[in-house]
């Protein structure tokens, strides 16, 4: 990593995205020349995080966009002049329902948010990475993308797609000096799991070797490692941050 690198965090307004943002912001000026923080619907959450960190820096850019359309994403990157040499894709939505109740609109929304946005951003940012012959991409999948889950088949399928994308792009882009890795968080104490009751949370934790849910900050720490020079010889990795629940 050099001072000329820049970073785009897509989905920076979610719990995991905000934790990753807080973890990486101190690197502004040393490891990163610019940081773009993307939100689709709630940029105010990013503003609140920056305010809490007492950070008012012109090198931090809050940007908003719908990432579901390839053309819109490419136009947006050009319009905002986003020239990121590193990408974290933390955007995504969840769905809990039996497969027979899944309709076309929900499936499309899941694939758009969880997979397509990552693909279009990678396409848009690749020319710079290829020209520099360096880059680092971290995609956030899920434990369910590795193991599958009852009543979350559609969500799990989209997260599994990110794992396949990671491994494929690591092989394709490695000769160009670009690393692509993936995080697969397990049960994390975040808004996405707020629907679980206390009893459901306790029962779930009984199956986790470490016996507790993870914290967003722990996912952020793993993300920072994958992006940085200490992981310079790591690509194609699917790193479980799940307390040992899934062993592969």
Both tokens assigned to 105: 């609109």
CB burial of residue 229 (10 Å; 0-12, 13-18, 19+): exposed
Q: Shortest CA distance to 30 belongs to which of 57, 58, 62, 5?
A: 5
Distance CA 142, CA 206 (A): 19
> Rounded to whole angstroms, what are the CA distances from 148 to 8, 13, 90, 170, 240?
29, 26, 19, 23, 14
Active site residue 89: no
Q: Which of 32, 89, 155, 233 is catalytic?
A: 155
Strands (E) across the chain are located at: 6-10, 34-39, 60-64, 86-89, 135-140, 178-185, 238-241
Strand 34-39 and strand 86-89: the pairing is unpaired
Tell me how far apart the alpha carbons of residues 46 and 64 are, in angstroms, rounded to a whole number.
Answer: 11
* Catalytic sites, residue numbers: 155
């Amino acid at each position: 990593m050099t001072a000329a690198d820049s970073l785009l965090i897509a989905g920076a307004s979610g719990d995991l995205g905000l934790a990753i943002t807080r973890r990486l912001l101190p690197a502004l000026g040393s490891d990163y020349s610019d940081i773009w923080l993307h939100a689709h619907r709630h940029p105010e959450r990013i503003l609140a995080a920056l305010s809490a960190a007492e950070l008012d820096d012109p090198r931090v850019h809050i940007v908003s966009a719908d990432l579901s359309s390839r053309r819109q994403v490419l136009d947006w990157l050009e319009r905002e002049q986003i020239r990121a040499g590193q990408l974290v894709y933390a955007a995504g939505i969840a769905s809990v329902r039996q497969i027979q109740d899944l309709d076309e609109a929900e499936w499309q929304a899941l694939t758009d948010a969880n997979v397509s946005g990552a693909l279009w951003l990678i396409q848009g940012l690749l020319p710079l990475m290829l020209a520099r012959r360096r880059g680092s991409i971290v995609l956030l999948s899920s434990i369910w993308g590795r193991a599958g889950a009852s009543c979350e088949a559609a969500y799990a399928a989209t997260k599994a797609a990110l794992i396949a994308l990671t491994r494929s792009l690591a092989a394709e882009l490695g000769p160009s000096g670009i690393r692509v890795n993936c995080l697969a968080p397990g049960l994390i104490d975040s808004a996405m799991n707020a629907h679980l009751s206390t009893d459901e949370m306790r029962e779930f934790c009984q199956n986790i070797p470490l016996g507790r849910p993870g914290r967003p900050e722990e996912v952020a720490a793993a993300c920072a490692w994958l992006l940085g020079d200490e992981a310079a010889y790591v690509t194609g990795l699917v790193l479980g941050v799940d307390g040992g629940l899934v062993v592969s």
